[in-house]
């Protein structure tokens, strides 16, 4: 039995976590099940991932596919092609733009992530306040998070001063935040959306010595940030989970289906819980790279 796993390459922190969990799960599953072969391929772009899917079919003759699409729309067709060859398909995180292709869907909830972040900010700044938003890379994921975040804030007296792309990248987070700090004398909170960005934001805020006037909400569940939450850092009181370990869940589910013929199908949506000082220990994995 061969399971093909196709995911984006480790080009930023969260994807690095994804790769780590995928590789670890592959080792674990293969060790435990001698008959099972898992081929793990990583791609740097949507079209490279489409190539990988073709190769998994043509060369590795996979029986099942676990795919975390680089982008939803462009990979819909290629995944459909795989499905048409009778392969069992598990889609992770980013839903395809056409319903009914996948057998199993395991995903975080981007909209919920935005919503939970907004709720926390609303609640913390009950008297209203000014916030800035640092976004990811212009993609659907970012759109979903951002739109839900803005929708949730609607009607509140929280004002979004500006939003800029920080490309899920520490350096850009740092630079954009430096400029926000130079531009806005009063910022009450920052939604960094992603923990890599948050790391950059923290440094910029500390450089400007304004750590006492604002707080930062990141996202993902990177160990550094979770640790800070756990330690009760005022600057990062919470984090919002978006676990890269969802790939492990998906691979395990798919393996179960094959090894024990457990009837598995449907949608497994992982929530995006708020990580607070109280529950942080549950989400802290010091050995993970993310």
Partner 1 sequence: MPEKFGFKLDLKTTGPFLALITLIIIGMLVNDAFLSTGNLSNILARSSFIGIVAIGATFVITAGGIDLSVGAMAAFISGCMIIIMNSLIGTIESSVAIILLAIIASAGIGALAGLINGILTTKAKIEAFIVTLGTMGVYRSLITYMADGGTLSLDFSIGDIYSEVYYGDLLGLPYPAWVFLGVAIIGYVLLNKTVFGRHCLAIGSNEKVALYSAIHVDRVKTMTYMLQGMCVAIATIIYVPRLGSASGQTGILWELEAIAAVIIGGTVLRGGYGRIWGTVVGALILTLIGNILNLTDAISNYLNGAVQGIIVIAAVYLQRGAWRRNKQ
Question: Which residue's Cβ lies closest to Mg ion?
Answer: 41
User: Measured from the CB atom, is 120 or 221 closer to partner 1?
Assistant: 221
Nearer Cβ to partner 1 (88/168): 168
241 contacts 283 by C-beta, under 8 angstroms: yes
Helix (H) or strand (E) run with residue 170 in it: helix 170-183
Cα angle 71-76-78, degrees, rounded to a multiple of 5: 105
Of the residues 122, 170, 228, 257, which one makes contact with partner 1 according to CB under 8 A: 170
Q: Does 174 contact partner 1 by CB under 8 A?
A: yes
By CB under 8 A, tell whether 180 contacts partner 1: yes
Segments of the chain assigned E as strands: 2-8, 37-43, 64-67, 88-92, 104-107, 129-135, 158-165, 189-191, 215-217, 239-240, 266-269, 274-275
The minimum distance between CB 250 and partner 1, in angstroms, equals: 17
Asked if 150 is part of the footprint of partner 1 (rule: CB under 8 A), the reply reads no
**Among 65, 66, 72, 229, contact with partner 1 (rule: CB under 8 A):** 72
Residue with smaller CB distance to Mg ion, 41 or 192? 41
Do 4 and 12 meet the contact criterion of CB atoms below 8 Å apart?
Answer: no
Residue 178 binds what, of Mg ion, partner 1, none (CB under 5 to 8 Å, by partner type)? Answer: partner 1
Task: For Cα atoms 234, 236, 239, give the angle at the middle one, nearest 5 degrees.
Answer: 140
Q: Judged by CB under 8 A, which stretch of 75-83, 213-221, 229-237, 273-281 contacts partner 1?
A: 75-83
Which of the choices partner 1, Mg ion, none does residue 245 contact, using the CB cut-off of 5 to 8 A by kind? none
- 257 contributes a contact to partner 1 by CB under 8 A: no
Pick out residues in 114-133 that bind partner 1 (CB under 8 A): none
Distance CA 52, CA 240 (A): 32
Q: Cβ(174)–Cβ(205) under 8 Å?
A: no
With a CB cutoff of 8 Å and minimum separation 6, the contacts of 236 are 198, 202, 215, 216, 217, 218, 225, 228, 229
Which of these segments, 72-80, 99-107, 109-117, 248-256, binds partner 1 (CB under 8 A)?
A: 72-80
Site track 29-48 with Mg ion (rule: CB under 5 A), x = hit:
------------x-------
Please identify, using beta-carbon distances, which residue of 43 and 197 lies nearer to Mg ion: 43
Q: Is 188 in the site for partner 1 (CB under 8 A)?
A: no
Alpha carbon distances (Å) from 171 to 44, 168, 190, 230: 20, 9, 16, 25
> How many Å apart are CA 258 and CA 23, to the nearest integer?
19
228 sits near partner 1 (criterion: CB under 8 A): no
57 contributes a contact to partner 1 by CB under 8 A:
yes
Show the site string, 193-212: x = touches partner 1 by CB under 8 A, - = not. Answer: ---x--xx--x---xx----
Stretch that binds partner 1, among 59-67, 102-110, 186-194, 253-261 (CB under 8 A): 59-67
Sign of CA dihedral 242, 243, 249, 250: positive
Rounded to whole angstroms, the Cα distance separating 122 from 88 reads 43
104 vs 251, which CB is nearer to Mg ion?
Answer: 251
| Residue 102 found at the interface with partner 1 (CB under 8 A) | no
Instruction: List contacts with Mg ion (CB under 5 A).
Output: 41
């Amino acid at each position: 039995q061969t399971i093909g796993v196709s995911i984006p390459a480790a080009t930023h922190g969260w994807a690095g976590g994804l790769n780590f969990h995928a590789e670890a799960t592959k080792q674990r599953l293969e060790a435990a099940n001698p008959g099972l072969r898992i081929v793990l391929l990583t791609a740097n772009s949507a079209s490279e991932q489409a190539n990988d899917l073709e190769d998994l079919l043509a060369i590795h003759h996979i029986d099942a596919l676990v795919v975390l699409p680089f982008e939803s729309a462009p990979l819909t067709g290629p995944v459909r092609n795989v499905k048409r060859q009778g392969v069992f398909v598990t889609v992770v995180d980013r839903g395809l733009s056409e319903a009914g292709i996948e057998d199993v869907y395991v995903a975080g909830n981007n909209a919920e992530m935005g919503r939970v972040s907004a709720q926390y900010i609303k609640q913390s700044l009950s008297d209203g306040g000014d916030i800035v938003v640092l976004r990811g890379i212009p993609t659907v994921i970012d759109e979903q998070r951002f739109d839900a975040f803005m929708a949730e804030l609607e009607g509140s007296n929280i004002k979004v001063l500006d939003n800029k792309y920080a490309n899920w990248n520490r350096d850009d987070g740092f630079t954009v935040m430096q400029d926000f700090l130079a531009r806005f004398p009063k910022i009450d909170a920052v939604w960094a959306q992603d923990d890599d960005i948050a790391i950059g934001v923290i440094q910029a805020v500390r450089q400007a010595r304004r750590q006492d006037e604002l707080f930062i909400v990141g996202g993902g569940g990177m160990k550094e940030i979770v640790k800070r939450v756990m330690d009760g850092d005022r600057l990062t009181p919470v984090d919002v989970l978006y676990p890269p370990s969802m790939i492990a869940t998906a691979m395990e589910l798919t393996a179960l289906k094959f090894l024990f013929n457990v009837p598995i199908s449907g949608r497994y949506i992982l929530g995006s819980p708020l990580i607070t000082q109280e529950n942080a220990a549950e989400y802290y994995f010091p050995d993970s790279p993310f």
